Amino acid sequence: MSEQQSPSSHYRYLNEKFPTVLAAVENLGQTVHSAGPIDRKTAELIQLAAAAATQSTGSVRTHARKAREAGADSEEIEHALLLLISTIGFPRVAAALDWIREK
């Protein structure tokens, strides 16, 4: 988890209930990020797109935040989502854009 944002209560619950599973998931994430040539910002934008496609609100917010931390600006994040319209449909993209709006 990022030092800039504390884990959600659900994440803390899962970590307390299944610590070895969460450790394995986090290790897998770190392993696949370092397995190839894609930079962190691009990787986070890819994961943001997948999260939007599956309509995972928390994952959309997390990967948008991580993309920002990796250097993506709001225009890049919004454009990454807009590129999905012809693939996942406007309603899912509109929802994802709403989820990432800083309120």
**Nearest of 92, 100, 46, 102 to residue 70 by alpha carbon:** 46
Sequence-ordered list of residues with C-beta below 8 angstroms from that of 61, at least 6 positions apart, any chain: 99, 100
Is 2 a member of any domain? no
Range of the domain at 15: 7-36
**Residue pLDDT, tens place only, 34-90:** 999 999 999 999 999 999 999 999 899 999 999 999 999 999 999 999 999 999 999
Q: Is residue 11 domain-shared with residue 56, that is, in the same domain? A: no
Cα 34 from Cα 40, distance rounded (Å)? 9
**Residue pLDDT, tens place only, 11-40:** 899 999 999 999 999 999 899 999 999 999
Q: Which two tokens stand for residue 81?
A: 């989502």
- This prediction has a pTM of 0.84
Q: Is residue 32 domain-shared with residue 51, that is, in the same domain? A: no
